[in-house]
Structure 1
Amino acid sequence: MDLKRRRTRRFNLGFRREALQIAQASVDGERYAAATPRERALLGVVHARTLAANCHNQEAACALLRAEDDLSNAHAGIREPDRTFFFGEASLAHETACTLRDLGDHQRAIKEFRRSVRTRGTAFRRTHAVTLGYMGATQTAQGGVEEACATWTSVLDAMEDGIYSGRARQRVVEMRQLLSPYRKRGISTVGVLDARAAAYLAQVD
């Protein structure tokens, strides 16, 4: 199992310190020094996310800048490993947004989520739904529930149009959880969206 997968597995299990140690090793070792720019950018943004998760805010911000610089040095003339073919501006923007969200910088996180959606190709509609789901959650954290409802409507549009994945479904579950405090406030868009989300989950579960 490579360092990125080990880091992700440990992070998802809640071992944030261990995840950071693995991510740190991936940017300190010979592998990083010998990696292509695109691979360094991928390793770097994973490092940034683990730094943010461990409240190393300044270091996380610096890691994001380094990942951005690394990706800017990638070009068609460099032979990249097959495992990094997907990682471009849209993926970097998505991971940057998640890092900024974890750092509490919701405004910049939303901007990066939007950049990710704008720059990702139409072939990745499932990933679009996940990114938009995260963006809606971040908009809610910033207090923009009606704006979040507009974003989440796009998620449900995609899901009801035949797009499905476990991660995208989880965004719908999260959507309902975050809408829960607003259900009795008489916001019509909340009621409509929540009903659609409930109907969708009942259909796929």
Structure 2
Amino acid sequence: MVHARALAVDGQRAAAARALLRAENDLASAEAGDDEPGRVFFFGEASLAHETACTLRDMGDLASATKEFHRSVRTRKAATFTRTHAVTLGYLGAVQARGGSIEEACGTWAEALDVMDGVHSGRARQAVRDMRSSLSVYRAKGIRSVAELDGRAARYLASVGR
């Protein structure tokens, strides 16, 4: 998955797609009892969907990225992996906004901020900074959900130290 993401960021779409398929096939072929390093205990369907979504996003396939982010949100054990769940929601909102669905993005980002309550993480802070950056385009348009969300995001950042 890391290889697929790196290839996508580098603009090597075909190679990224091949690496993505290879990772998905490897995970699908895993069986109960297969040895795995302790450091990867958490990498299951939700993690695969998250990383797949990030790769697809970086390749410019926003529709497929949205689908995979939704799968990650749906399958993640949010109570156990709260920070990752919150960050995934942040990324999903960003993809929705990039696709022109700002109201949907605001709803997703509001959920992300709900989950982030009490979360102190560099990735969470960055997701909120990115959220505010995406919202900046809409601030002057008087969209109530944007103004409310932007205020919540600013308060979150102030509470956790920018």
> Is the counterpart of residue 53 in structure 1 residue 53 in structure 2?
no
1:113 is matched with 69
Q: Distance in 2 between matches of 1:202 and 1:47?
A: 35
Contact 2:120 2:160 in 1 (8 A): no
- The DSSP-based 3-state class of the residue aligned with 1:181 is coil
1:185 aligned to 104, 125, 141, which one?
141
> Is the counterpart of residue 203 in structure 1 residue 138 in structure 2?
no
Write the deviation string for residues 75-99 of structure 1: whole angstroms up to 9, x where unpaired: 2211211122111111111110000
- The DSSP-based 3-state class of the residue aligned with 2:141 is coil
1:149 is matched with 106
Structure 2: state its 5+ residue gaps. none
The alignment's TM-score, normalised by the length of structure 1, stands at 0.75
2:81 is matched with 124
Give, as a single letter, the amino acid of the residue that structure 2 aligns with 1:61: A
2:51 is matched with 95
Q: Distance in 2 between matches of 1:88 and 1:179?
A: 32
Q: CA RMSD in A?
A: 1.0
Write the deviation string for residues 131-151 of structure 1: whole angstroms up to 9, x where unpaired: 011111111111111110000
Structure 1 runs (4+) greater than 4 angstroms displaced: none
Identity of aligned residues (%): 63
* Higher RCO (CA 8 Å, separation ≥ 6 residues): 2
1:82 aligned to 5, 26, 38, which one?
38
Matches within 5 A, 1:28-67: 45-67=1-23
Matched positions, count? 160
Q: Distance in 1 between matches of 2:155 and 2:76?
A: 29
Give, as a single letter, the amino acid of the residue that structure 1 aligns with 2:40: T
The alignment's TM-score, normalised by the length of structure 2, stands at 0.95
Q: Considering only CA atoms, is the larger Rg found in Structure 1 or Structure 2?
A: 1
Contact 2:50 2:72 in 1 (8 A): yes
- The DSSP-based 3-state class of the residue aligned with 2:119 is coil
Write the deviation string for residues 112-166 of structure 1: whole angstroms up to 9, x where unpaired: 0111111111311111001011111111111111110000001111122x22211
- The DSSP-based 3-state class of the residue aligned with 1:184 is helix
Q: Distance in 1 between matches of 2:52 and 2:30?
A: 18
Give, as a single letter, the amino acid of the residue that structure 1 aligns with 2:27: L
